[in-house]
Chains A and B, each alone.
Chain A
Amino acid sequence: MVTETTEEAAARLVESLLKGNRRAAGRVISAIEDGGDAVEMLMRALYPHTGRASIVGITGPPGAGKSTVVDELIRVMRADGRAVAVLAVDPNSPFSGGAVLGDRVRMMRHATDPEVFIRSMGARGHLGGLALASHNALLALDAMGFSDLLAETVGVGQSELEVAGTADTTVVVVPPGLGDGVQAIKAGIMEIADIFVVNKADHPQADRVVADIRDVLRMDLKRPEWTPPIVKTVATAGEGLEDLWIRIRQHRRYLEESGELERRRRARLEQEIVEIAERRLREQVLRPRTATPEFRAMLTDVVERRMNPYEAAEQIVPKTAAAG
């Protein structure tokens, strides 16, 4: 609820966050979620303090064991001295727009650890998209000093893939027994994986999934430098998580040494700037010109074939203007 506050209030809130005040951090993230002008003010204050933490996205189909993997990963990372913040993004919301966010249930044992921060995020109608809101929320936690950020998302839809796309390292959690094997999740998800986790390895079909993934990877010739490793875990028994943590760090090293991190972040920021600018164009240029009676009349002309869509668009944004 920062919408009404001034630049100063935003700066004060961020200052408090930078000192490690969790209450302030909680509120900053809420303000980011609520959207509006406050976001820009907050980001102005936050941005210089970001860029240090590494972001690991954990994605996969519903019920794959992502939250359990995250919970166990927190344990391993804490033992390694890391300060971990988790953003559990759950975009499932029924018709009412409400949601029950339950990912943190599996992580509650870490709730009182001062070096762990867990935040749940629902879908809402995030302006600028869920991906931007969740990324900004992660930046806030980065600024607060958490060394490692984990973002859990369900890998089913486009917006979740976008959320995963903002991570430095993407871990795809695959459960055994997915009907048609990996094919079911291949589309979209396989391409973004830096590391595969075959969770529920206590399940008899786990090895089949490992073989399936290997087959898919063999055909994937796009990535000569980094072949995504496959880690088997039994998250409920805490098995395989040390191995996963090693792989995550290896990937991090690869990103840094190869310059890939730089490239990824650059590409992502470019995309982000363009998206912000596009939205602005839509709001400041397009919307005023399309929310007019003249536009409605023109639309009728197009519908009744007196004008074609190109001619109509020309009226709103003349070609020369678009080009220049």
Chain B
Amino acid sequence: MLKDRTLEDDYRSWRESHPPHNRDWDFTTLSGEEIAPLYSPLDIADESYTRDVGFPGQFPYTRGIYANMYRGRLWTMRQFAGFGTARDTNRRFHYLLSQGMTGLSVAFDNPTLMGVDSDDLRALGEVGRTGVAIDSLADMEVLFEGIPLDRVSTSMTINAPAAIVLAMYVAVGEKQGVPAGQLTGTLQNDILKEYIAQKEWIYPPRQGVKLVVDTIEYTAQHMPKYHPVSISGYHIREAGSTALQELAFTMADGLSYVDASLERGLDIDSFAPRLSYFWNSHIDFFEEIAKFRAARRLWARLLKEKYGAKNPRSWLMRFHTQTAGVSLTAQQPENNIVRTALEALAAVLGGTQSLHTNSMDEVLALPTEKAVEIALRTQQIIAYETGVVNTVDPLGGAYFVEAMTNRMEEGALEYFRRIEELGGVLVGIEAGFFQREIADAAFRYQRELEERRKVMVGVNDFVNDQPIDIPILKIDPEVEREQIRRLQELKRTRDNDRVDRTLAAVRDAAARDENVMPYLLESVRAYATIQEMSDAMKAVLGSYREPAFV
């Protein structure tokens, strides 16, 4: 106590003799948080090292989930890829693996993400555009041709139809002779953030959560190495949220899945170790690092103290990170390489388990091979040249970083209280709470940009008039035609009676409120399409209509 008072006195006299002369600038984070000119031990006076920080690999895991972190194993360099037909994407996968990428990550096209077949009118112009087009198991077989699923882990970014795609993945494994229990990888399968931010939904929220719990239950029983949900802040942030909102809303979603799974009767330690997170790494360096560290501590505390999980693996917040797509600019796109590198560095210093670095041209279209390569090289430079991997959590103990970490955690707890008062996440979605919070934040930031209180280099300052000129990968319209041909051929040649029978079974299972996974697997094996299966469930579960929150 006595010593603290002395430090405070010292601080005050230092401050008085060195009054701050700030230039005319807004010293706030990207999210608008005030930042002090200096941080010192005074700012973390309430923090206890053992209670709040601790050693890596030990509760509350603020410094990292593993004791040895990147000295033991580097993060997985996992570039998200997918375009055109399954054949096109399969070729890109083989190329990336040959370049040293260590995990696959599948991007699906919009029709697939919405549970719409390539030959549906709504899919017109979108087949294979921003991801790979998958209509049935036949496409999935091609997608993973020559890729041993027992050795390569695969992340699949899909939500509303996630249960169907998981069933397809299991079925491809079967064809390769890999049993479900051997499959590794991650399904995004975070439907709540769809209603909140990304907005690719099919069923109403409650029914959407039911399907998520079906996959959690199924994998808990049959796929012990598989991660059924990747609770995602990425899209919440891309939709315009602040860093704190990303943290709080995402973790609130995560807790909702935990609650729903417990309600199903699952034991917390049977599924919690395989829940994982997916964060955005934006351009405000320290704010992001604090977010990652706070998330790790929060999750550990909640799972241990609130939910009483016994298995320490349930307490670990493992996460994938992607650099911020919205931080990229169409103007002077080469600058995006620099932005991405800094964001990737923040993710590494924040202790990520896997990382996707955006390509410089992603803001304009699908990335070219060259741009993807630079993005991957960026990770390799961080891993092998910069030396930041040599010690665990090199920023731990930094006054600023610890203070920001504490602030993030407190802010998230405050949001949790508000969400609880509202009646929980589902009610908050219905009432538009999250949507409005995010839209307000996005609007505020846009204002700040236009008033130049925040700068984006090349956009609202340091502008040059050079035309936007980088090579862009274009999708041949022939892709759509070919995909439709393949699909219609399939519909002619498969056993359609079997398809109908299995679809009816899916519908009945949904109506009985049973776990639909085994029934979907049967339908998938019969080569039913993604839309056929979605529609079968929609007939029972209903469909979601967007509330108008502008």
Contact = CB atoms under 8 A, between A and B. Distances in A.
B542 A105 contact: no
Main secondary structure of the interface of B (DSSP, over half): loop
Nearest to B541: A237
Given A63-B431, A103-B548, A105-B545, 10 more contacts: A68-B545, A100-B550, A102-B550, A105-B548, A106-B546, A236-B542, A236-B545, A237-B204, A237-B542, A238-B542
Contacts of A237: 204, 542
B549 interface: yes
Task: Say which size band chain A's interface belongs to.
Answer: 10 to 19
Nearest to A103: B548
B547 interface: yes
A68 B543 CA distance: 13
Q: B204, B431, B548, B549 — which one has the most chain A CB atoms within 10 A of its CB?
A: B548
Interface in B531-550: 542, 545-550
Contact of A71 (B204, B542, B545): B545
A322 to B, nearest CB: 49
Contacts of A63: 431-432
Interface residues of B, number: 10
Interface in A59-75: 63, 67-68, 71
A294 B546 CA distance: 58
Contacts of A102: 548-550
Nearest to A105: B548
B427 to A, nearest CB: 9
Given A237-B542, A238-B542, A106 B548 contact: yes
Interface string B6-23: 000000000000000000
A208 to B, nearest CB: 15
Interface of B: 204, 431-432, 542, 545-550
A323 B237 CA distance: 69
Contacts of B549: 102
Nearest 4 A-B pairs (CB), nearest first? Answer: A102-B548, A105-B548, A100-B550, A106-B545
Given A63-B431, A236-B204, A237-B204, A106 B547 contact: yes
6 contacts: A67-B548, A102-B548, A104-B548, A106-B545, A109-B545, A238-B542
Contacts of B547: 105-106
Interface string A206-238: 000000000000000000000000000000111
A67 B545 CA distance: 11
A9 to B, nearest CB: 35
Nearest to A90: B548
Interface in A256-285: none
Contacts of B204: 236-237
A109 B543 CA distance: 12
Contacts of A71: 545
A109 B546 CA distance: 11
B546 A105 contact: yes
A258 to B, nearest CB: 37
Contacts of A109: 545
A106 B549 CA distance: 11
A71 B548 CA distance: 13
A170 B431 CA distance: 25
Interface string A95-135: 00000101111100100000000000000000000000000
Interface string A196-214: 0000000000000000000
B201 to A, nearest CB: 13
Contacts of A67: 548
A298 to B, nearest CB: 49
Contacts of B545: 68, 71, 105-106, 109, 236
A38 to B, nearest CB: 31
A67 B547 CA distance: 9
A108 to B, nearest CB: 8
Nearest to A71: B545
Nearest to A63: B431
Contacts of B550: 100, 102
A103 B550 CA distance: 11
A237 B545 CA distance: 10
